[in-house]
Amino acid sequence: MNENVQTLDYGVTSPAERNRVLRNTYWLLALSLLPTVLGAYIGVTTGITAKLTGFMGLIVFMAGAFGFIYAIEKTKNSALGVPVLLGFTFFMGLMLSRMIGMVLGFSNGASLVMTAFAGTAGVMFVMASLASVIKRDLSGMNKWLFAGALVIMVAAVINVFVGSTALMAVISTLAIAVFSAYLLYDLKQVIDGGETNYISATLSIYLDLFNIFQSMLALLGIFGGDRD
């Protein structure tokens, strides 16, 4: 541990250090949106991910995502941590481009994308505000949130083969609820000093926001898409 970091008796970093981690996390989170947008733009304009459907798309996504996450955790304490994280967010933008391209196929597609973005930003604002005022320890939420995320993952894999629009709507609704709660938990971890590495913190919060945005976009495409 860095010898310059003061620790309190109960093992959590000092308020100054927690504020530093939170500030760096927000800056890196904002920066991570740029590669995401770039990846989504390249994916939509080139159609490079158009053929990544079904089981093949699932394999590419899972292999790429978990590979990057492993690499991020291995490099989070080195100079490579930030570039690897930004590479991951570029990859996630590419993977998101197929859904964005489908939504943009609606006559009101651009407005749906902006609505999903605004909704995600609204969730972030609400959860960040709650995390800053809630005094109780939320660490007990972790096992329940993990169980919810696992259910969502299993259901999403099943739906790759089933292809049910109704099931997708249920999964997306559940994902918004679970990952909004995860967002509150992850932000509270940083604020309380439970997470002291801003790269790991950014990764967790980014994944929460990515899943919320993707789920909102899916719901808007299912119920609000206009083909006229």
The DSSP-derived string for 89-144 is HHHHHHHHHHHHHHHHTSTTHHHHHHHHHHHHHHHHHHHHHHHHH--S--GGGHHH
Instruction: Give pLDDT, residue 228.
Output: 62
Q: What is the model's pLDDT at position 10?
A: 37
- The answer, yes or no, to whether residue 6 has pLDDT greater than 80, is no
Instruction: Provide CB contacts within 8 A for 186, sequence distance 6+.
Output: 195, 201, 204, 205, 208
Note the pLDDT of residue 11: 43
Q: Which pTM value belongs to this model?
A: 0.89
Query: Lowest-pLDDT range, 45-54, 79-88, 140-149, 164-173?
Result: 45-54
The predicted model gives 131-141 an average pLDDT of: 86
> Which two tokens mark 144?
């329940």
Residue 197 CA, chain-centre distance (Å), reads 17
Average pLDDT value over all residues in the chain: 88
What is the predicted pLDDT for the residue at 18? 85
Arithmetic mean of pLDDT, 184-189: 94
* CB hemisphere CA count around 27 (13 angstroms): 8
Closest of 114, 89, 82 to residue 35, by C-alpha? 89
Chain centroid, CA 49 distance in Å: 19
**What is residue 9's predicted lDDT score, i.e. its pLDDT?**
36
pLDDT score recorded for residue 4 = 38
Residue 5 confidence (pLDDT) above 70:
no
Write out pLDDT tens, residues 64-80.
Answer: 999 999 999 999 999 99
Which residues are paired to 13 by β-bridges? 7
The Cα 125–Cα 146 span in angstroms is 23
pLDDT of residue 194: 86
Taking a C-beta distance cutoff of 8 angstroms, is the pair 216, 159 a contact? Answer: no
